[in-house]
């Protein structure tokens, strides 16, 4: 049998002089959260967890029951271990400080407990995304401002994909590896070592219903993809849009592609749909570590200095040659 995720991480940590083991402990707690979430997602209607909770989150989105349940699972699995100083989630307005009865650790975590939650009631793949940062030196009571670190400072980023298989894909800045849950054994095992995003692709992913709200460079790029060989490109394109970022990004890691949730004028109050701290940054760390490129169209996503926990950003990521082409179109206007 191949290596378990924990064996893999322990062996990776041994390469780092003076590693305290805290990080391995934290990852163990995250794995435990993902296994519990996989269980609930997998049982669905059998345990009464589908449907709306009737409440709204800080972003004005209606919460599903599972948005709340998975948020709670993630907190409970991670608060007690002594590895974290605070957490921030899509489903909580403010940061979550570690309760007094537990020791505080040196890491911060941001997470999207249930990504693609609009897909959960129709039995389509969903996921969990997380990003680990260092708590600034000397800070014992972190505030939201301690989370305002660019994506380049992430210690680790990963996602769990609850699809036909449950997988965890993660990076600690040393490439990207994928692990599949063996439910009988109860552990994740290395199935996809050293994942690489192919530099070229013939597949694009975007929500076409927003077409009239896009900026000119995205209009131009997508129009060219649709026209294919008849429009001057040397190839024809296919399109996919799951509507769960985890599933769309996983496809890109497996076989290439370009994923776009670009700037649009649909809602003047927001710069894009996806959130920097728990969607765009962790996915960018993973995709860049696999040889892909991630941009807002104008800047590298991981270079942005965050200004808010729930800040939204335009996201264009995936196969290098296609993302660079679309970025170059942004320079032409």
Nearer to ligand AHG by Cβ, of 172 and 201: the residue is 201
Contact positions with Mn ion (CB under 5 A) in 79-108 = 90
Nearer to ligand AHG by Cβ, of 66 and 302: the residue is 66
117 is a site residue for ligand AHG (CB under 6 A): yes
* Dist. CA 143–CA 244, nearest whole Å: 30
Tell me which residue has tokens 């948005």: 67
Nearer to Mn ion by Cβ, of 58 and 303: the residue is 58
In the chain, the DSSP E strands lie at 52-56, 62-64, 84-89, 96-97, 107-115, 126-134, 156-162, 166-171, 176-182, 187-192, 203-205, 238-239, 258-261, 274-275, 293-295, 312-313, 315-318
CA distances from residue 244 to 29, 31, 277, 321 in whole angstroms, order as listed: 24, 20, 17, 24
116 is a site residue for ligand AHG (CB under 6 A): yes
Nearer to Mn ion by Cβ, of 9 and 253: the residue is 253
3-state secondary structure of 195: coil
41 is a site residue for ligand AHG (CB under 6 A): no
Nearer to ligand AHG by Cβ, of 111 and 188: the residue is 111
To ligand AHG, the closest distance from the beta carbon of 207 in angstroms equals 4
115 is a site residue for Mn ion (CB under 5 A): yes
Task: Determine which residue in the list 2, 153, 207, 265 makes contact with ligand AHG, applying CB under 6 A.
Answer: 207
Residue 243 partner contact from Mn ion, ligand AHG, none using kind-dependent CB cut-offs of 5 to 8 Å: ligand AHG
**Residue 63, strand partner residues:** 55
Contact indicator for 107, 23 with CB cutoff of 8 Å: yes
Total residues in contact with ligand AHG, by rule CB under 6 A: 13
Contact indicator for 8, 31 with CB cutoff of 8 Å: no
**Residue 315, strand partner residues:** 261
318 is a site residue for ligand AHG (CB under 6 A): no
Nearer to ligand AHG by Cβ, of 96 and 189: the residue is 96
Task: Determine which residue in the list 29, 115, 264, 322 makes contact with ligand AHG, applying CB under 6 A.
Answer: 115
* Dist. CA 35–CA 164, nearest whole Å: 14
Total residues in contact with Mn ion, by rule CB under 5 A: 4
91 is a site residue for ligand AHG (CB under 6 A): no
245 is a site residue for ligand AHG (CB under 6 A): yes
* Best CA proximity match to 153, nearest among 136, 173, 133: 133
Interacting span for ligand AHG (CB under 6 A) from 18-26, 68-76, 238-246, 319-327: 238-246
Q: Which residues bind Mn ion (CB under 5 A)?
A: 90, 112, 114-115
């Amino acid at each position: 049998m191949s290596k378990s995720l924990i064996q893999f991480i322990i062996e990776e940590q041994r390469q780092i002089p003076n590693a305290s083991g805290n990080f391995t402990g934290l990852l163990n707690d995250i794995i435990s959260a993902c296994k519990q979430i996989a269980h609930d997602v997998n049982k669905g209607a059998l345990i009464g967890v589908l449907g709306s909770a009737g409440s709204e989150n800080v972003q004005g989105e209606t919460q599903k029951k599972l948005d709340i349940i998975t948020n709670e699972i993630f907190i409970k699995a991670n608060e007690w271990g002594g590895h974290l100083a605070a957490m921030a989630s899509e489903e909580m307005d403010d940061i979550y400080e570690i309760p007094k009865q537990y020791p505080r650790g040196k890491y911060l975590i941001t997470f999207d407990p249930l990504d693609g939650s609009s897909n959960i009631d129709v039995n389509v793949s969903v996921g969990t995304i997380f990003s680990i940062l260092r708590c600034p030196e000397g800070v014992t009571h972190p505030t939201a401002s301690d989370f305002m670190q660019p994506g380049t400072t992430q210690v680790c980023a990963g996602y769990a994909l609850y699809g036909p298989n449950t997988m965890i894909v993660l990076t600690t800045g040393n490439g990207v590896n994928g692990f599949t849950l063996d439910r009988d054994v109860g552990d994740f095992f290395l199935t996809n070592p050293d994942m690489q995003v192919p530099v070229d692709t013939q597949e694009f992913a975007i929500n076409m219903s927003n077409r009239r709200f896009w900026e000119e460079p995205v209009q131009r790029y997508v129009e060219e993809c649709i026209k294919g060989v008849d429009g001057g490109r040397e190839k024809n394109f296919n399109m996919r849009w799951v509507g769960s970022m985890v599933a769309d990004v996983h496809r890109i890691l497996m076989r290439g592609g370009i994923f776009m949730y670009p700037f649009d004028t649909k809602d003047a109050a927001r710069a894009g749909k996806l959130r920097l701290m728990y969607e765009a940054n962790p996915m960018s760390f993973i995709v860049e570590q696999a040889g892909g490129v991630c941009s807002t169209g104008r800047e590298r996503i991981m270079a942005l200095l965050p200004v808010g926990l729930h800040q939204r950003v335009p996201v264009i990521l995936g196969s290098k040659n296609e993302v660079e082409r679309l970025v170059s179109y942004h320079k032409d206007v």
